[in-house]
């Protein structure tokens, strides 16, 4: 990944003009004076005369105004740029610090005035950091870094800190016993089962030995050095032990790991297959239909898909019982959950990989083939190394999604327990936030491990294929045999998915899904009465959250992959955390963090939107990072050389090249916001009810017909949204390409 | 950048929620249909608005706890009794004596030591899909469930996550004594197709023929049968335990006055009749003047055990029972 740094000319000169910080400073001062600084309770827009800063009259508050006015005056003085920047940093920090301190001391909920004043002061500091030369880059970069870091701190790290605290702080004192109790509990993991006939520990050991020996033998065969062979022996042994523990152990940990071990490779491979087909199939309808088919499962609320699977594959399932006359319960447990997750997460892998495959420069493959390479060699030596970052991202994402998935295990898990559902169940079923937090810690540790393994696998290679000219040249067809095989996989997938969706639609029109198939529109009438307002509200909230999620994601991706700055790792890590944290833990974390004091936000739409923004932002980041990795930084350098400011470079150079990726990110943010459950289940409040939470209620209550009706309407409306937006994006992308060339 | 940020701030501020004064914010734990029917009737009777969120009683307790410093909700309607009792003992709910207190069925008040307001009562029982039994006889007793003919045909909620399952465990221990109860539980375990995480789920599985026998609250079985599932509901001969659903005032409720009006109203015979008429809910209502719905399981015909709510509602006892179940029953392969 490139770590190129752009430094702006203005930060080096002795400019005597006024500083751009005057505008935010003026906004800060105006906001401070014109809007109420605090608020009496939850409502934002109440104008309480007692809560204007000048009515409160606390000395600390005057420092806020002094800071803002000082910044205004300083920025208009004709001073050398660098020292003026330092002065502005001082003024801004005094104002911001005094205000924050006042809130911490009095625990008053913040008001609009404070919001505007603090935002203004943060912008002042951002400008100043750039002008003083303390942050390399222009005002836009410096401000972005500051704001993004603040967001990560406030909306990701702080809530997580609050919930982690409860894993190890019991009744106000540090106490590890709760954590220890959780991870030694049989619900979490146990291997030796005295009630079983087999010797689990022995079998696991055998796996460790066998895998260790095999991997060492392979290293020997490849004529590696002795230390490396020994390392392979140990590493293989560990992997073998883990495999054995997954197979013979019981409890949430091995269950979740085994599911991940099935789901993540399957999703990645299927995603790659579909991406290859979608881009390069010689059969047009395949390419056309792929976009629609592959996107279907992610627009579906997970409970619905899981239920449709029961009706197809359960003990009385249409396929298992009706077609094959079987009466089996195999679907409840790992097999059912794995199938449901593969259906649900392959499209995510597909969407990510499609970006990678689409931005491969066909000229490279043409060159290889001109030089006499066959399709196989081209695939192995050109295509594979280039899609590797995309593959790693897809693998990691499906892994995280599988680990954190809540909707499928809760319906199809049977009596196997999963880590993510245990978080929820220990919190709601066993009233134990400490235990829930401990499960959260374990999940986080697993995800971080995966993250570092991915890093190690990708190494530091460069995967630049875009050199300024948009892709041209004919796409190389994939080998015939491969294409036939892939198309067959797609066909099976399509038939199965079509059957699932058909059964949902049938269920929504049936008197009693699974028992009585008399036609009725009663469920739609029920939905219109009880669900429609909630549905509209959810769509509004999801749309509002998607835009900042996408913009922030793009910004973070750009900063992280194109700039070196103090705190870069922190931003990266924070956004990873926000995605990796299971939704239920994040939801409760938000309640812990935002229910008291200055940050009183619970029971509002704001907290739901914030949770969704920071939940979905990392997906946009991933997409944008993968896209950026394929764009040569020299493009931006050229733009900078021509004295374009970095905001201009971002807007005029990177944005057009990434339109497709970004629109994908936007749709994904919107759709996941519409279908999110686990992270908002604790945040809904009277008047702020969300469709999926209502749906879970209906499912739990056995109102499956109504749930299927809402599912059908969700699916259809989101499918339409995606089709329209994708079509628009393609037109924009095409126009951009025309203009640029 | 300044512009982007300001637009963002303004957008967030515009959609920020607000609560109006004359409104009850309700945590509602029983059937959704019941919750939905409450609002219009309450507004018509008192003029107050009502907004509710339906969450299970365990979720409700978790939320009230998490929000204790700054409550969002005013009242908590329904849901099994133990969490109400815990909320009362922790001081996050407040005991309010309604004016109809004397009309509440005295036995219900007595067995819970008048520690919270009883709203309804419901008993554990068997919910059976005869067709799915495949010729096996109807189970009549708890011991019948251990018969190998029912292998793979029984579903019950998971004791580690469901209050319903815990009530079942406590019932068995109170009837048979702890050791014999665990012997029976082991036998049932061998026949279980799956433990579900939600308390009402077994009846749905039985209704669709995924299993034949569900062990859960009888009023839920009656409800599923009323929806059209081929189910019969009855109590085993040795006797059954029961729950007493509660209604509680949240401590420091933001709209206390409206919340009290709601609790007063919800305990009237007219309000309680809504449960069966509109709410698909067939529990025994707590006001002795309420006309019980014909489908509601008749407690006079059920062998109810003398359930010790004080002892079995104690979190420590609960912990002991669940730990033993986890160590003795849960690992047995089947």
Smallest Cα distance from A731 to chain B, Å: 26
Across the interface, do A194 and B331 touch by the CB < 8 Å criterion? yes
pLDDT at B17 over 50: no
Would residue A553 count as lying in a domain?
A: no
A184 in contact with B at a CB cutoff of 8 Å?
Answer: no
B72 in contact with A at a CB cutoff of 8 Å?
Answer: yes
Using an 8 Å CB-CB cutoff, list chain B residues near A427.
62
> Residue A586's pLDDT is what?
83
Q: Which of A411, A419, A415, A417 is nearest to A314 (CA)?
A: A411
Please tell me whether residues A303 and A429 are part of one structural domain.
yes
Span B124-141, mean pLDDT? 94
The continuous run of DSSP H or E covering A438 comes out as helix A433-458
Across the interface, do A195 and B197 touch by the CB < 8 Å criterion? no
Q: Indicate the angle between helix axes A334-358 and A659-675, nearest 10 degrees.
A: 160
A642 in contact with B at a CB cutoff of 8 Å?
Answer: no
The continuous run of DSSP H or E covering B50 comes out as strand B49-54
What is the token pair recorded at B85? 């009792």
What is the token pair recorded at A25? 């400073």
B141 in contact with A at a CB cutoff of 8 Å?
Answer: no
A331 in contact with B at a CB cutoff of 8 Å?
Answer: no
Across the interface, do B333 and A592 touch by the CB < 8 Å criterion? no
> pLDDT tier at B18 (50, 70, 90 boundaries)?
very low
A611 in contact with B at a CB cutoff of 8 Å?
Answer: no
Please tell me whether residues A127 and A210 are part of one structural domain.
no
Give Rg (Cα) of chain B: 21
Q: What are the helix (H) ranges across A510-567?
A: 522-530, 532-562
B21 in contact with A at a CB cutoff of 8 Å?
Answer: no
pLDDT tens digits for A20-47?
A: 888 899 999 888 888 888 887 777 766 7
Closest Cβ opposite residue A595 in set B11, B66, B315: B66
Would residue A395 count as lying in a domain?
A: yes
Using an 8 Å CB-CB cutoff, list chain A residues near B254.
41
Smallest Cα distance from A111 to chain B, Å: 10
Whole-angstrom Cα distance, residue A429 to residue A443? 19
Which residues in B202-282 belong to E strands, given as ranges? 213-217, 232-234, 242-250
Whole-angstrom Cα distance, residue A693 to residue A303? 11
Whole-angstrom Cα distance, residue A158 to residue A156? 6
Q: Look at residues A118, A134, A150 and tell me which one is the last residue of a structural domain.
A: A134
Closest Cβ opposite residue B66 in set A116, A195, A591: A591
Domain ranges within chain B, ordered by starting residue: 23-121+243-297, 122-241+313-328
What is the token pair recorded at A171? 């009744």
Tell me which of B136-145, B233-242, B312-321 is least confident: B312-321
Across the interface, do A190 and B331 touch by the CB < 8 Å criterion? yes
Chain A residues 514-533 within an 8 A CB cutoff of chain B: 514-516, 530
B229 in contact with A at a CB cutoff of 8 Å?
Answer: yes
pLDDT at A16 over 60: no
Burial (CB count <10 Å: 0-12, 13-18, 19+), residue A318: middle
Residue of A nearest to B201 (CA): A700
| Cβ contact B12:B60 at 8 Å | no
Across the interface, do A123 and B25 touch by the CB < 8 Å criterion? no
pLDDT tens digits for A421-469?
A: 888 777 776 767 788 888 888 887 888 788 778 777 776 544 444 443 3
Residue of A nearest to B51 (CA): A686
Q: Indicate the angle between helix axes A252-280 and A384-404, nearest 10 degrees.
A: 140
Across the interface, do B194 and A609 touch by the CB < 8 Å criterion? no
| Cβ contact B116:B246 at 8 Å | yes
Residue of A nearest to B208 (CA): A514
Whole-angstrom Cα distance, residue A263 to residue A649? 40
pLDDT tens digits for A186-219?
A: 888 888 888 788 888 999 999 999 999 999 999 8
Strands B117-128 and B284-285: antiparallel
Whole-angstrom Cα distance, residue B54 to residue A697? 7
Q: Which of B85, B57, B12 is nearest to B198 (CA)?
A: B57
The continuous run of DSSP H or E covering B23 comes out as strand B23-28
Q: Which residue reads 């000319």 in tokens? A: A9
| Cβ contact A548:A121 at 8 Å | no
| Cβ contact B88:B251 at 8 Å | no
Q: Which residue has the higher pLDDT, A564 or B146?
A: B146
Please tell me whether residues A121 and A240 are part of one structural domain.
no
pLDDT at A254 over 80: yes
End-to-end distance of chain A based on CA atoms, in angstroms?
A: 26
The continuous run of DSSP H or E covering B57 comes out as helix B57-66
Smallest Cα distance from B53 to chain A, Å: 6
> Collapsing DSSP states into helix, strand and coil, what is residue B247?
strand
B20 in contact with A at a CB cutoff of 8 Å?
Answer: no
| Cβ contact A258:A247 at 8 Å | yes
Using an 8 Å CB-CB cutoff, list chain B residues near A688.
17
pLDDT at A265 over 70: yes
Across the interface, do B32 and A415 touch by the CB < 8 Å criterion? no
> Residue A458's pLDDT is what?
73
Using an 8 Å CB-CB cutoff, list chain B residues near A194.
331
| Cβ contact B128:B231 at 8 Å | yes
Please tell me whether residues A270 and A398 are part of one structural domain.
yes
pLDDT at B87 over 80: yes
Residue of A nearest to B316 (CA): A430
> Collapsing DSSP states into helix, strand and coil, what is residue B120?
strand
Domain count of chain A?
A: 2
A685 in contact with B at a CB cutoff of 8 Å?
Answer: yes
Q: Indicate the angle between helix axes A384-404 and A605-628, nearest 10 degrees.
A: 160
Whole-angstrom Cα distance, residue A149 to residue A570? 8
**Which fold would CATH assign to domain B122-241+313-328?**
D-Maltodextrin-Binding Protein; domain 2 (3.40.190)
Closest Cβ opposite residue B15 in set A120, A187, A544: A544
The conformation of residue A474, written as its DSSP 8-state character, comes to: P
What is the token pair recorded at A591? 């309640």
- What does each C-alpha distance from A544 to A3, A547, A609, A659, A670 come to in angstroms? 32, 6, 7, 20, 8
Q: What is the DSSP string of A359-370?
A: TS-HHHHHHHHH
Phi/psi at B26 (nearest 5 deg)?
A: -115, 135
User: What is the rounded (10 degree) CA torsion for B34, B40, B46, B49?
Assistant: 100
pLDDT at A716 over 80: yes
Across the interface, do B63 and A682 touch by the CB < 8 Å criterion? yes
Which residues in A227-275 belong to E strands, given as ranges? none
Burial (CB count <10 Å: 0-12, 13-18, 19+), residue A595: buried
- To test the contact with chain A by mutation, choose from B37, B42, B54 the residue with the greatest count of A C-beta atoms within 10 A, namely B54
Q: Look at residues A134, A150, A178 and tell me which one is the last residue of a structural domain.
A: A134
Q: What is the DSSP string of B89-158?
A: HHTSEE----TTGGGB-HHHHHHTTTSSEEEEEEEEEEEE-TGGGTTPPPP-STGGGGSGGGTT-EEEE-
B26 in contact with A at a CB cutoff of 8 Å?
Answer: yes
Closest Cβ opposite residue B2 in set A27, A414, A431: A27
pLDDT tens digits for A617-647?
A: 887 887 788 778 778 888 888 888 888 888 8
B209 in contact with A at a CB cutoff of 8 Å?
Answer: yes
Strands B23-28 and B49-54: parallel
Whole-angstrom Cα distance, residue A149 to residue A135? 14
Cα A37 → chain centroid? 34
Whole-angstrom Cα distance, residue A204 to residue A190? 12
The rounded mean pLDDT for chain A is: 82
Please tell me whether residues A106 and A209 are part of one structural domain.
no
Smallest Cα distance from A97 to chain B, Å: 20
Whole-angstrom Cα distance, residue A556 to residue A650? 12
Would residue A593 count as lying in a domain?
A: no
Across the interface, do B23 and A686 touch by the CB < 8 Å criterion? yes
- To test the contact with chain B by mutation, choose from A510, A687, A699 the residue with the greatest count of B C-beta atoms within 10 A, namely A687
Q: Which residue has the higher pLDDT, A697 or A263?
A: A263
Q: Look at residues A494, A526, A554 and tell me which one is the last residue of a structural domain.
A: A494
pLDDT at B121 over 70: yes
What is the token pair recorded at A52? 């204007």
> Residue B24's pLDDT is what?
93
Please tell me whether residues A207 and A119 are part of one structural domain.
no
Across the interface, do B203 and A139 touch by the CB < 8 Å criterion? no
B52 in contact with A at a CB cutoff of 8 Å?
Answer: yes
B193 in contact with A at a CB cutoff of 8 Å?
Answer: yes
> Residue B106's pLDDT is what?
94
- What does each C-alpha distance from A691 to A534, A618, A707, A723, B197 come to in angstroms? 6, 23, 10, 22, 22
- What ipTM does this complex have? 0.80
Burial (CB count <10 Å: 0-12, 13-18, 19+), residue A50: exposed
Question: Residue A404 maps to which CATH number?
Answer: 1.10.3720.10
The continuous run of DSSP H or E covering B285 comes out as strand B284-285
Would residue A377 count as lying in a domain?
A: yes
Across the interface, do B17 and A512 touch by the CB < 8 Å criterion? no
Q: What domain range is A25 assigned to?
A: 15-134
Q: Which residue has the higher pLDDT, A296 or A388?
A: A388
Angle, CA of B266, B270 and B275, to the nearest 5°: 70
| Cβ contact A83:A89 at 8 Å | no
| Cβ contact A413:A337 at 8 Å | yes
Span A553-563, mean pLDDT? 87
Cβ density class A611-622: b for 16+ within 10 Å, e for less: bbbbbbbbbbbb
The continuous run of DSSP H or E covering A385 comes out as helix A384-404
Closest Cβ opposite residue A332 in set B53, B160, B194: B194
pLDDT at B12 over 80: no
- To test the contact with chain B by mutation, choose from A306, A701, A707, A710 the residue with the greatest count of B C-beta atoms within 10 A, namely A701
A316 in contact with B at a CB cutoff of 8 Å?
Answer: yes
Please tell me whether residues A280 and A401 are part of one structural domain.
yes
A651 in contact with B at a CB cutoff of 8 Å?
Answer: no
Would residue A603 count as lying in a domain?
A: no
> Residue A58's pLDDT is what?
83
User: In 10 A of CB B34, how many CB atoms?
Assistant: 23
Residues sharing a CB contact under 8 Å with residue A88, sequence separation 6 or more, in sequence order = A19, A21, A71, A74, A75, A124, A125, A127, A128, A131, A132
Across the interface, do B326 and A591 touch by the CB < 8 Å criterion? no
Smallest Cα distance from B11 to chain A, Å: 8
Q: Do domains B23-121+243-297 and B122-241+313-328 have the same CATH topology?
A: yes
Phi/psi at A153 (nearest 5 deg)?
A: -65, -50
Q: How many CB pairs under 8 A join A and B?
A: 213
B9 in contact with A at a CB cutoff of 8 Å?
Answer: yes
CATH no. for B23-121+243-297: 3.40.190.10
Across the interface, do A45 and B224 touch by the CB < 8 Å criterion? no
Residue of A nearest to B156 (CA): A415
Q: Which of B87, B155, B78, B150 is nearest to B118 (CA)?
A: B78
Across the interface, do A42 and B17 touch by the CB < 8 Å criterion? yes
């Amino acid at each position: 990944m490139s770590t190129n740094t752009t430094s702006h000319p203005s930060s080096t000169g002795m400019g005597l003009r006024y500083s751009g910080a005057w505008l935010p400073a003026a906004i800060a001062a105006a906001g401070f004076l014109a809007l109420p600084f605090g608020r009496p309770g939850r409502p934002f827009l109440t104008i309480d005369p007692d809560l204007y800063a000048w009515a409160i009259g606390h000395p600390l508050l005057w420092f806020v105004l002094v800071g803002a006015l000082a910044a205004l005056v300083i920025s208009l003085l004709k001073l050398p740029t660098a020292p003026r920047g330092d002065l502005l940093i001082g003024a801004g920090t005094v104002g911001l610090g005094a205000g924050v301190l006042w809130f911490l001391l009095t625990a008053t909920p913040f008001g609009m005035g404070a919001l505007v004043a603090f935002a203004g002061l943060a912008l002042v500091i951002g400008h100043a950091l750039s002008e003083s030369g303390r942050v390399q880059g222009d005002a836009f970069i410096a401000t972005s870094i500051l704001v993004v870091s603040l967001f990560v701190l406030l909306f990701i790290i702080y809530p997580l800190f609050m919930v982690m605290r409860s894993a190890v702080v019991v009744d106000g004192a540090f106490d590890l016993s709760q954590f220890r109790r959780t991870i030694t509990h049989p619900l979490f993991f146990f291997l030796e089962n005295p009630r079983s006939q087999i010797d689990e520990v022995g079998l696991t050991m055998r796996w460790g030995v066998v895998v260790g020996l095999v991997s060492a033998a392979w290293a020997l065969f490849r004529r590696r050095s002795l230390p490396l062979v020994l390392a392979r022996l140990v590493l293989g042994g560990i992997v073998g032990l883990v495999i054995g523990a997954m197979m013979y152990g019981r409890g949430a940990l091995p269950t979740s790991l085994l599911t991940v071990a099935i789901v993540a490779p399957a999703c990645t491979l299927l995603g790659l297959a579909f991406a290859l087909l979608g881009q390069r199939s010689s059969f047009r309808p395949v390419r056309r239909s792929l976009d629609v088919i592959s996107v279907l499962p992610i627009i579906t609320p997970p409970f619905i898909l899981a239920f449709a699977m029961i009706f197809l594959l359960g003990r009385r399932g249409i396929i298992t019982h009706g077609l094959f006359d079987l009466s089996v319960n195999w679907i409840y447990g790992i097999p059912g959950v794995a199938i449901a997750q593969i259906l649900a997460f392959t499209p995510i892998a597909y969407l990510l990989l499609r970006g990678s495959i689409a931005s491969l420069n066909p000229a490279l493959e043409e060159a290889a083939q001109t030089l006499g390479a066959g399709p196989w060699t081209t695939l192995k030596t050109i295509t594979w190394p280039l899609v590797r970052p995309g593959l790693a991202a897809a693998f990691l994402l499906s892994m995280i999604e599988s680990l954190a998935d809540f909707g499928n295990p809760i319906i199809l898990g049977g009596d196997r327990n999963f880590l993510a559902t245990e978080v929820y169940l220990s919190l709601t079923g066993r009233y134990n936030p400490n235990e829930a937090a401990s499960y959260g810690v374990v999940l986080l540790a697993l995800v971080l491990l995966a993250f570092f393994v991915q890093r190690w696998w990708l190494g530091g290679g460069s995967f630049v294929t875009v050199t300024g000219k948009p892709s041209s040249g004919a796409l190389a067809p994939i080998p015939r045999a491969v294409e036939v095989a892939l198309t067959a996989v797609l066909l099976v997938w399509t038939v199965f998915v079509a059957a699932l969706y058909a059964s949902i639609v049938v269920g929504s029109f049936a008197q009693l899904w699974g028992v009585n198939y008399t036609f009725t529109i009663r469920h739609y009438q029920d939905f219109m009465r009880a669900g429609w307002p909630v549905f509209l509200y959810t769509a509004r909230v999801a749309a509002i959250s998607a835009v900042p999620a996408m913009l922030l994601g793009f910004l973070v991706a750009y900063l992280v992959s194109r700039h070196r700055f103090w705190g870069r790792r922190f931003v990266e890590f924070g956004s990873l955390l926000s995605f990796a944290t299971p939704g239920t833990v994040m939801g409760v974390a938000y309640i812990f963090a935002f229910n008291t004091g200055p940050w009183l936000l619970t029971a509002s739409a704001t907290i739901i939107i914030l949770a969704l923004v920071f939940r979905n932002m990392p997906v946009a980041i991933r997409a944008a990072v993968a896209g950026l990795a394929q764009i040569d930084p020299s493009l931006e350098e050229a733009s900078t050389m021509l004295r374009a400011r970095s905001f201009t470079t971002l807007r005029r150079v990177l944005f057009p090249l990434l339109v497709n990726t970004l629109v994908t990110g936007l749709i994904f943010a919107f759709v996941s916001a519409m279908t999110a459950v686990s992270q908002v289940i604790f945040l809904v409040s009277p008047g702020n009810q969300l469709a999926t939470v209502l749906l879970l209620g209906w499912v739990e209550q056995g109102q499956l017909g109504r749930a299927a009706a809402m599912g059908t309407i969700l699916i259809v409306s989101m499918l339409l949204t995606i089709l329209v937006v994708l079509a628009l994006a393609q037109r924009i992308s095409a126009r951009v390409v025309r203009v640029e060339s | 950048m300044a512009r982007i940020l300001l637009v963002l701030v303004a957008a967030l501020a515009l959609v920020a929620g607000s609560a109006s004064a004359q409104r009850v914010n309700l945590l509602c734990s029983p059937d959704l249909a019941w919750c939905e029917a409450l609002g219009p009737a309450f507004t018509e009777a008192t003029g107050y608005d009502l907004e509710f969120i339906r969450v299970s009683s365990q979720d409700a307790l978790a939320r009230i706890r998490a929000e204790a410093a700054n409550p969002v909700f005013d009242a908590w309607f329904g849901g099994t009794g133990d969490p109400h009792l815990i909320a009362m003992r922790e001081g996050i709910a407040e005991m309010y004596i309604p004016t109809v207190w004397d009309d509440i069925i005295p036995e219900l008040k007595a067995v819970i030591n008048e520690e919270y307001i009883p709203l309804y009562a419901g008993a554990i029982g068997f919910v059976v899909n005869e067709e799915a039994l495949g010729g096996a006889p109807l189970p009549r007793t708890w011991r019948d469930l251990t018969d190998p003919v029912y292998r793979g045909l029984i579903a019950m909620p998971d004791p580690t996550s469901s209050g319903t399952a815990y009530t079942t465990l406590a019932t068995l221990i109170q009837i048979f004594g702890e050791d014999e109860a665990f012997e029976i539980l082991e036998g049932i375990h061998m026949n279980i197709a799956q433990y579900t995480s939600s308390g009402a789920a077994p009846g749905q599985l039985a209704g669709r023929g995924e299993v034949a026998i569900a062990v859960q609250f009888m009023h839920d079985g009656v409800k599923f049968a009323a929806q059209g599932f081929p189910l019969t509901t009855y109590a085993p001969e040795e006797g059954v335990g029961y729950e007493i659903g509660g209604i509680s005032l949240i401590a420091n409720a933001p709209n206390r006055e409206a919340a009290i009006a709601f609790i007063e109203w919800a305990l009237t015979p007219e309000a309680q009749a809504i449960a069966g008429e509109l709410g698909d809910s067939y529990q025994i209502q707590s006001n002795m003047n309420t006309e019980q719905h014909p489908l509601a399981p008749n407690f006079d015909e059920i062998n109810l055990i003398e359930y010790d709510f004080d002892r079995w509602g104690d979190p420590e006892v609960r912990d002991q029972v669940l730990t033993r179940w986890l160590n003795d029953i849960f690992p047995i392969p089947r």
